[in-house]
């Protein structure tokens, strides 16, 4: 049956990072005996008999597989209120249909993943009387291997006799010797003293001091195999293991469905948020720490850069794992002169509990009402499904946060240099995703580098832009961002979808792109990419605003890159006057006539003049971006990106057969 019961444990997945031990973990009890299946009888495990009483002789006990006729007894035990209160992953109410389904699951083709044994006392009957069960359910370990979660249940009339300890030990011995099980864990609600007593008496389990909050809002204690050793694994691998196990049997189906649906709603809402961008100044703050002491951003920055992790609440297991992960790497951050800070909407009293529970040695600050987080664009309202679940679990937002707005920040990590300038931003609507501490440590290297490397990239789009002008260069930048910190803003007149459909060709197909920013809200930019397309030759909505934006932002740019007829927009803004530039060769003559103040080059794949990089038509955008990449990051990096893209570069900027085919004049 599902893990949990009257001397219950939890089916909550264990996120702790483990490697499987070798050999037998569990001491073989002297009374243990395994009887393999025979033509007449099924397999069985012997247990110590129930002692004789003045009213009855000693009663033999053993473990056997589940049988079809166990359904009524199973349903009777599971529906007993004394048992049901401790169930963690079992339908309530538990009817005969649920009992039959569980038995069928154990007898079906997936049964090797469900090692379930019935506990029986041997009355004169064919199968013996079913009084409970013990099971091992296969889960995915953080390293991708197999680990098993122990679960058990017992009829209340047999409580207090040590039956469950013996049954669990027999199952663990059999699983190790006969089924090759090496790693086992069990989670127990802290309030369930009976179940904790069972596990505490089983040799071979080690109790973890860390406590987490399960899906019901109950505190859990983790027990794991004594020979299971802790290893350092990637944070997101650990989070992924937690997520997968939770949504694949670790929580009731109805709870999982609510959370998954709410995740979709959060993702949709996320698109409406304008998150603080790289290059922006971090708004100043004064926030209390867990003891109530006021901490200012200015005082933190006096010591150097700060890394801020936005923490949702102590009910969030992903946040708890992240906090512990950051604490483990705290010495590494200190060695780089970076101050770690966590910010949460929780009140100081709750935050103090969090600090003590996880032994945190870095400040955890309270942003009551999410005032500071709101300035960064991080605040969202919990979906109705989550609100309902949290209320049913007894998670008291009024007590935890001081209000019932149900507003909390998205998970985010922001790196700020000593001058208060945002250098890197990680934020994701998927609450199971976090920035790896190793990645954050890598980001800190860029703070001390006097490098012209651009961090913030913007791409202007407008109705009728050419698709490859945008997506070719952006895909090269996507690949670059695998190893180099970049941010990207897609900028339009509004946040409404913008289509590539050319108005001059009514029958043409097109695609739409949703901007991340408007011209009014775009962040500081290091690089501006300007595509071409049929839209540059007319007056589609937003084109004049795009030209004004280019003119206004040009002084702050380190680089401007135009593709195809994107150079027409740059020329119309006036920023190319007196400079050498090129464009799509089919539009070259018309463009030269439109902007005579620019020194137009006919025979060129791309042209560089100062911080302005202009390219020929469409596909040339990939070549100009790779050339720019080589200039800024080095040839090895540009070759690496081209290799990933399986793209054969044109490295000669003067290579241009299209100027010849279009009959353009020789350059002076």
Q: How many angstroms separate the CA atoms of 199 and 186, rounded? A: 8
Work out the burial of residue 36: count CB atoms within 10 Å of its CB; fewer than 13 is exposed, 13-18 middle, 19 or more buried. exposed
Average pLDDT of the chain to the nearest whole number: 83
Element containing residue 381 per DSSP (H, E) = strand 379-381
- Name residues whose C-beta falls within 8 Å of residue 2's C-beta, 6 or more positions apart in sequence: 11, 87, 88, 89, 90, 102, 135, 137, 151, 249
pLDDT higher than 50, residue 550: yes
Tell me which residue of 128, 149, 167, 187 sits closest to 48, measured CA to CA: 167
**Amino acid 17: pLDDT:** 29
User: How many of the other CB atoms lie within 10 Å of CB of 115?
Assistant: 21
pLDDT higher than 70, residue 254: yes
pLDDT higher than 60, residue 214: no
**Amino acid 527: pLDDT:** 94
pLDDT band at 334 (very low <50, low <70, confident <90, very high): confident
**Amino acid 628: pLDDT:** 94
- Name residues whose C-beta falls within 8 Å of residue 70's C-beta, 6 or more positions apart in sequence: 99, 103, 118, 127, 130
Mean pLDDT, residues 317-345 taken together? 89
**Amino acid 452: pLDDT:** 40
**Amino acid 23: pLDDT:** 39
pLDDT higher than 80, residue 96: yes
Could you tell me what percent of the chain has a pLDDT over 90? 43
Q: How many angstroms separate the CA atoms of 652 and 626, rounded? A: 12
User: 8-19, pLDDT tens digit by residue?
Assistant: 322 323 323 233
User: 561-603, pLDDT tens digit by residue?
Assistant: 999 999 999 999 999 999 999 999 999 999 999 999 999 999 9
Region of poorest pLDDT, from 3-7, 23-27, 336-340, 528-532: 3-7
Tell me 272's DSSP state. T
Region of poorest pLDDT, from 137-151, 352-366, 491-505: 137-151
pLDDT higher than 90, residue 210: no
**Amino acid 423: pLDDT:** 86
pLDDT band at 107 (very low <50, low <70, confident <90, very high): confident
User: 385-404, pLDDT tens digit by residue?
Assistant: 999 988 888 889 999 999 99
pLDDT band at 141 (very low <50, low <70, confident <90, very high): low
- Over its C-alpha atoms, the chain yields an Rg (Å, rounded) of 32
Work out the burial of residue 508: count CB atoms within 10 Å of its CB; fewer than 13 is exposed, 13-18 middle, 19 or more buried. exposed
User: 142-169, pLDDT tens digit by residue?
Assistant: 556 678 888 888 999 888 888 998 999 8
pLDDT band at 27 (very low <50, low <70, confident <90, very high): confident
SS3 621: helix
User: 429-468, pLDDT tens digit by residue?
Assistant: 888 888 888 888 777 655 644 344 457 999 999 999 999 9
Are the CB atoms for 162 and 125 separated by under 8 Å?
Answer: no
Parts of the chain belonging to CATH 3.40.50.880: 452-661
pLDDT higher than 70, residue 557: yes
pLDDT higher than 70, residue 133: yes
pLDDT higher than 80, residue 314: yes
Instruction: Look up the CATH superfamily of 264-446.
Output: Glutaredoxin (3.40.30.10)
pLDDT band at 240 (very low <50, low <70, confident <90, very high): confident
Region of poorest pLDDT, from 205-214, 258-267, 314-323, 484-493: 205-214
SS3 347: coil
**Amino acid 4: pLDDT:** 37
- Name residues whose C-beta falls within 8 Å of residue 97's C-beta, 6 or more positions apart in sequence: none
User: How many of the other CB atoms lie within 10 Å of CB of 283?
Assistant: 13
**Amino acid 173: pLDDT:** 85
Q: Give 18-251's CATH code, choosing from 3.40.50.300, 3.40.630.30, 3.40.50.720, 2.130.10.10.
A: 3.40.630.30
**Amino acid 494: pLDDT:** 94
**Strongest mean pLDDT among 140-144, 453-457, 614-618, 636-640:** 614-618
What is the token pair recorded at 319?
A: 């946040």
**Amino acid 344: pLDDT:** 95
The dotted CATH code for 452-661 is 3.40.50.880
pLDDT higher than 50, residue 134: yes
Are the CB atoms for 348 and 292 separated by under 8 Å?
Answer: yes
What is the token pair recorded at 123?
A: 């009355």
Are the CB atoms for 292 and 388 separated by under 8 Å?
Answer: no
**Amino acid 612: pLDDT:** 96
**Amino acid 377: pLDDT:** 92
**Amino acid 209: pLDDT:** 47
**Amino acid 87: pLDDT:** 67
Alpha-helix residue ranges (DSSP H) falling in 179-234: 193-200
Helix axes 96-107, 71-78, angle to 10 degrees: 120
Mean pLDDT, residues 171-187 taken together? 82
In 123-228, the DSSP E strands lie at 129-140, 146-154, 184-189, 205-213, 219-225
SS3 116: strand
**Amino acid 26: pLDDT:** 66
pLDDT band at 35 (very low <50, low <70, confident <90, very high): confident
What is the token pair recorded at 374?
A: 């709101």
pTM for this entry: 0.45
What is the token pair recorded at 171?
A: 């199952």
């Amino acid at each position: 049956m599902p893990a949990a019961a009257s001397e219950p444990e939890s089916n909550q997945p264990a996120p702790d990072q483990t490697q499987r031990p070798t050999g037998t973990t569990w001491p073989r009890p002297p009374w243990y005996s395994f009887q393999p299946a025979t033509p007449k009888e099924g397999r069985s495990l012997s247990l110590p008999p129930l002692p004789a009483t003045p009213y009855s002789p000693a009663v033999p006990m053993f473990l056997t597989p589940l049988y079809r006729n166990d359904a009524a007894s199973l349903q009777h035990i599971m529906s007993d209120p004394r048992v049901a209160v401790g169930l963690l992953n079992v339908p309530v109410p538990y009817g005969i249909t649920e009992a039959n389904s569980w038995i069928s699951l154990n007898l079906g083709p997936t049964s090797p993943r469900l090692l379930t044994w019935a506990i029986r006392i041997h009355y004169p009957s064919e199968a013996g009387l079913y009084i409970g069960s013990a099971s091992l359910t296969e889960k995915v370990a953080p390293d991708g291997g197999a680990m098993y979660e122990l679960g058990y249940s017992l009829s209340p009339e047999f409580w207090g006799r040590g039956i469950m300890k013996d049954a669990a030990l027999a199952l663990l011995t059999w699983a190790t010797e006969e089924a090759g099980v090496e790693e086992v864990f069990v989670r127990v609600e802290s309030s369930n003293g009976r179940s904790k007593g069972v596990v505490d008496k089983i040799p071979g389990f080690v109790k973890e001091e860390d406590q987490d909050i399960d899906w019901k809002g109950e505190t859990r204690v983790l027990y794991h195999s004594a020979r299971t050793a802790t290893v350092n694994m990637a944070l997101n691998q650990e989070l992924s293991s937690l997520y997968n196990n939770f949504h694949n049997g670790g929580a009731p189906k109805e709870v999982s469905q609510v959370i998954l649906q709410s995740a979709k709603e959060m993702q949709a809402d996320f698109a409406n948020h304008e998150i603080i961008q790289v290059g922006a100044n971090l708004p100043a703050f004064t926030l209390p720490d867990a003891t109530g002491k006021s901490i200012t951003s200015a005082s933190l920055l006096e010591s150097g850069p700060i890394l801020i992790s936005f923490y949702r609440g102590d009910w969030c297991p992903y946040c708890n794992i992240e906090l512990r992960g950051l604490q483990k790497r705290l010495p590494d951050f200190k060695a780089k002169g970076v101050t770690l800070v966590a910010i949460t909407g929780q009140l100081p009293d709750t935050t103090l509990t969090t600090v003590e529970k996880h032994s945190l040695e870095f400040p955890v600050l309270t942003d009551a009402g999410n005032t500071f987080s709101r300035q960064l664009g991080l605040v969202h309202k919990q979906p109705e499904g989550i609100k309902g679940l949290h209320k049913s679990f007894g998670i008291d937002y009024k007590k935890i946060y001081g209000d019932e707005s149900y507003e909390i920040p998205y998970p985010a990590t922001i790196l700020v240099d000593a001058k208060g300038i945002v250098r890197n931003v990680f934020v994701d609507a998927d609450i199971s995703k976090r920035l790896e501490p190793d990645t954050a440590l890598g980001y800190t290297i860029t703070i001390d580098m006097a490098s012209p490397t651009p961090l913030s990239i913007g791409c202007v789009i407008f109705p009728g832009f050419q698709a490859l002008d945008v997506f070719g260069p952006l895909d090269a930048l996507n690949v670059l961002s695998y190893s180099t910190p970049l941010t990207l803003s897609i900028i339009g007149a509004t946040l409404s979808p913008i289509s590539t459909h050319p108005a001059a060709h009514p029958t043409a197909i097109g695609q739409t792109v949703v901007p991340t920013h408007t011209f009014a809200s775009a962040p500081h930019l290091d690089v501006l990419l300007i595509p071409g397309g049929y839209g540059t030759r007319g007056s589609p909505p937003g084109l004049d605003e795009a030209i004004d934006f280019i003119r206004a932002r040009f002084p702050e740019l380190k680089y401007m890159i135009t593709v195809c007829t994107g150079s027409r927009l740059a020329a119309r803004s006036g920023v190319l006057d007196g400079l050498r530039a090129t464009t799509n060769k089919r539009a070259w003559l018309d463009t030269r006539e439109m902007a005579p103040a620019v020194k137009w080059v006919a025979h060129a794949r791309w042209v560089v003049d100062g911080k302005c990089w202009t390219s020929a038509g469409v596909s040339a955008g990939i070549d100009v971006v790779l050339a720019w990449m080589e200039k800024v990051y080095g040839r090895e990096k540009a070759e690496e990106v081209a290799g990933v893209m399986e793209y054969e570069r044109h490295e000669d900027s003067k290579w241009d057969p299209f100027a010849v085919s279009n009959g353009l004049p020789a350059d002076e």
